Structure formats: C-alpha cells, structure tokens
Amino acid sequence: MLMPEDAWCAPRGERTPLEPIRFGLRRTITSHDWHRVHRYARHVRSLRIQPQTYRKSIAKALRTSESDGPLFPGLRHLSFASQWDWDKCDHLAILRMLLSPSLDHLAIDIPNSYLEQLSCLAPICSALTTFSFTDQGHSDARPSPADLTACVRAWPALTSISLNGSAGMSQLMPALALCDSAGGPDAVFAPCSPSGAYPRASFAALRDLTIGGQSAAYVVGLMKSWGVRPIERLSVFGLELPADAARALIADIPTHCEPTALSRLMISATSPGWRMRAEDVAPLAKCPSLTSLVLNVSDGADIADVEYETLARSWPLLQRVEFPGSYDRAVAPRCTMAALGAFAGACTHLESIVLSFDANMDVVPSPSLSNSTVTHLNVVDSPIDESCAPRVAERLATLFPSLTWIEDDYDDGRYEESQAGWVVADAAMRARARAQRAKVWAAERSAVKAKLAAAAAASAQRTPSSSSTSLSRTTSSSSVGTSYFDALREQCIIA
C-alpha cells in the first residue's frame, strides 16, 4: 500500500467469501502521508479501480491531494469503474488525478452523461493507444457523438477500441469511425458524399475493434460508414443474426476491411433457424491473411467435406479455426473426418480446431496427411457411437500426432447416452499419449545408460596403461633414489 498501515483498514465484517473487501480509512490523510504516496506512486505502472472495493470516504480523501500533476506519473494501464455511491464530481476529480501523459491503455466504466467532462480530460493522455468504454446501464441517457469525437481527437495514436454496454452505444461508434483530426465537428457528421464514400483517412490508426451487444444492421452500417480500413482484428459478439443479416455482415467484412490486413475475425451470435452454409462463408475467402477465424452461431454449420477443403485452401496461415455445432441430435453434420484432414493439409500452422463432424462415417485419411502442430481439438456435438470410438481415436492420432486429448461440448443433460463414445475416444487418446511419453522416457533412459556404459568402458581401457605408467614412474624414481644414496655412500667412503 502507498499509504502508511495505520491510515487504512480492511474490515472483515459479514461478507461472503466471493465478496471483495471494501477498504476504508482509519484517520485523516496528512501532508506527510501524501508525501509518502507521491514518493512511491511514481513507480506504479498498472492500476485497477473496482467500485465495490472502495468506500465513499476514499473519494473525499483522494480529493485532498494538493498536487496539480497526475497522482501516478508513470502509469501505463488504467482500469476505472464508477462507484454507485460516489458523486459525479468525485468520479471526475479522481479520474483526472489518475490520468497521466504516459497512459497507454484506458478502460472506463462510467455513465454516458460523463462523456462531456471526459472529453475535457482526454488531452491529458494524448499517447493513448487502447480505449475500452463500458456503460452497464448506469442511465438511460444516450452518449453524445460530439463528446466522443472530442475525446478521440486528442488520441491520434489510438489503435484499439472496445465498446460494450447499452443500446445508446450505437451512436458512439460512427463518431469514432468518422473522426478526422483535420476536420471540424460539422465535417465528422456530414452526410455521405455523392459518390457514397466517406473519407478513408478519418481515424486512420484504428487496427483493433471489438463491438458487443449491438444489432447486425448497426454493425453493417458502421462498416459502410468508414469506407475501407486496414482493420487487423475484428470481434463482434452478442448479436441476434437472422439469415439475411448474417449474410450481409459476412459479405461486408472483406469489402470494408482490407482483405490482406485482416488477421483475426470473431463473430458470436444467436441465430435461430439459420445454419451456416459454404456460400455464406465464401466472401471471407478473400482474406488470405487470417490466422484466427471464429464463427460461432447458435444453429450450427451445414458444410460438406469438399466445401471445407475449398475454404481451407483460402486460409493457409490459420492457427485457430472454429465452426459451430448445431446441438441437435436429430441433425447429423454433412461433413466427416475428411474436413479435419482438409484443414490439416492446407493450414500448416494450425494449432486449434473446433469443428462438428459425423464421426460414425468411416473415412480413411491419406497416410501422408499429418499435422503435428495441432494440439487442441473440440468436436463440439459430433455424433459418435461407442463402438466407433477406438477407430476414431486411431485415425485422429494419425492425423494429429501431437494431439493428446479430445474436447467435446454438450448442453442437453444427456451426456452419458449421447457422448459416451467421445469419453472412450478421449481415454484412448490419453492412453496413447501416456504410452508415447513412456517410450520417449525409456529411450532417454537407454541413451543415458549407453553413455554411462561407454564412459565406463573407456575408463576401463585407460586403467592398465595408467597402472604401468605409474609402475614405471615408481621404478625409475626408486632407481634414482638408489643411485643417489650410492653416490652419497661413495663420497663418505672417499672422505
């Protein structure tokens, strides 16, 4: 703690084990205490303020600091969440104390109504590169795009944005997407030009974008508003995606995100009645630089082996791929283990696969087809009979030599009757992995024993020669000693 131990307390009270301790003060903070705080605070690089951890008295005590500069001058990462029983002036005053010119990552959870004041504080941390804003229903007030525009104008180095919260946030992202540090507020919200294109240079540093809890139409409209951008990582979650909206969203991604720049894409949505087909995913084939592709929709995928093979060839750099399962036991996937083989052969850097396939179909992968980089496989809700489990485990072991276990998902409480086959297959994979490790350890022990035996043999060969050498040395030394004494005796006789 930065403050002396006699100045603060953490009363135990009556609380559950999961409830955090709320820190409080025992006495008034003195100027000597503040001198100690400022001396040690310059070494703090990361700070997380949780609202349930601090009592209201903490806010008033912090405001007694007489320093005009930042409380933590070397702070790089700040996570600040509002406290329900703190006043608005307390929030903003303390946030002003915590902001520093050295700040690189800022994550805040404050009411939308505070954005106007936040825009006044934004120039303090002009080097900010990552901004996360959450409004967990503090108020019904919608955020002002002008206020957010004023914020991001002070952050020219911003490359990552994450927005989460109420529906009012939908007004916020267009302001960020259209923000142009060279233009005025009127230019930011100007209508689209006759050609239908917004200026590409607006907010050109944006590379990483996460959007949660918005409608598909809003996300599509947002991408259209920014023209074409070199987005590298795009995550969209918490959507409700009907078939038409889902197709429109996926089709617009390679149109408005530069295909060669996009490396990570995640879409997580509730999509009742829509099963993803190959033609729905086909637009993403224009993105050859993808290293992570996660398409998680509730009603699963309806894609055949040949179609997976075509898609896999479009993404040779993939390290992680995830296609959803249907969780409907009455509907078997169209694909088989050959779909896994398609990704194993085309994606040589692949490490993780999440894919539902019909494991009961007896498909023999090519003996030459093997991918040793895959270490994680989630078969989701793939149907499998217990009698097929040993065969499936053997084929998977051949296809992915580094795979040591199998993960499966289930959600209907019928685990034993529907997924018992995967329990058997997983046990077989783990037993095989243990046997392989035992062989490796045995080989290592044999190699060590062979080295020790060779060293012992070499030592034994050197022993006779060394003995004869020592004997000759003893003989020669004794002869030298004898001749020496003889010489002395002769001298005595002569004397």
Contact criterion met (CB below 8 Å) for 293 and 267: no
Residue 391 has pLDDT above 60, yes or no: yes
> Which of the listed ranges 141-150, 261-270, 479-488 does the model predict with the highest average pLDDT?
261-270
Residue 197 has pLDDT above 80, yes or no: no
Local structure of 154: helix, strand or coil: coil
Q: Which domains does the chain have, with CATH numbers?
A: 29-190+198-340 (3.80.10)
Kindly report the pTM of this predicted structure. 0.68
Percent of the chain with pLDDT over 90: 24
Distance from C-alpha of 2 to C-alpha of 21, rounded to nearest angstrom:
17
CA-nearest of 313, 304, 300 to 278 is 304
Give the residue-averaged pLDDT of 289-296: 94
φ, ψ of residue 175 to 5 degrees: the values are -65, -40
Confidence of residue 469 (pLDDT cuts 50, 70, 90): low
Q: What is the pLDDT of residue 156?
A: 73
Local structure of 324: helix, strand or coil: coil
**Paired residues of 208 in beta bridges:** 160, 233
Q: What is the pLDDT of residues 51-65, one digit of tens each?
A: 555 556 666 666 666
Cβ neighbourhood burial of 229 (10 Å; 0-12, 13-18, 19+): buried
**Bigger pLDDT: 353 or 198?**
353
Distance from C-alpha of 400 to C-alpha of 407, rounded to nearest angstrom:
14
Q: What is the pLDDT of residue 182?
A: 41
Token pair 């998680």 is found at 296
Distance from C-alpha of 54 to C-alpha of 49, rounded to nearest angstrom:
8
**Residues with Cβ within 8 Å of residue 121, at least 6 apart in sequence:** 92, 95, 96, 99
Distance from C-alpha of 246 to C-alpha of 225, rounded to nearest angstrom:
18
Confidence of residue 329 (pLDDT cuts 50, 70, 90): low
Q: What is the pLDDT of residues 415-443, one digit of tens each?
A: 445 578 898 999 999 999 999 899 999 99
